Amino acid sequence: MTPRRYAKDEVELEAWSREAKASECPHCRQAGYVNRHGSLRGLAEDGRAKDAVRGRRFFCSNRGHRQGCGHTFSIWLAAVIAGASVRSGLLWRFYLARLSGTSVLGAWESLRSPFSLEAAYRWWRRWRRGQCVLRTVLARGRDPPSGDVQSALAAVYGADDPIGVFQCREQRGWP
């Protein structure tokens, strides 16, 4: 069993953690040497507390006489964007507000986000740069999106948190 890169929620992440020993390492493909290696913790949804679980790390053990490679890998929660403090739900609400015609400043302030305005501009640039990747993923196995990307994302992945569902279903990070 190859490990996933994203888990739907903490229950699925914990279930996979219990079965980690039977899975294979994504680096060396050896089975039986993967161990839990700690939690990935970071900012909570509101940006104040640093104790929110963001995912879990795993270690392919090469200690003793074990045949593992010694590499670690992570499995993230789908609502978490790897390398970022902003959660997927907040980011989707920002995109919807911005695409409805609101300015970047107005969209970001309407969310009462604890993060800087410069972060909003970075996310907006990332949205614009990632359009071709999103269209390619959306066209795989179905008709290409004819209109705007946000309505196609909502139709395929649901309207509540399509970014989190995208990461969980496609097993790839948000572009």
Query: For residue 29, what are the contacts with CB-CB under 8 A and spacing of at least 6?
Result: none
pLDDT at 92: 94
Mean pLDDT by 10 residues, the chain (175 residues): 82 88 87 88 69 89 87 91 86 93 94 90 94 87 78 85 91 89
Domain spans in the chain, listed from the N-terminal domain onward: 6-77, 88-170
pLDDT at 48: 63
pLDDT at 38: 87
pLDDT at 154: 87
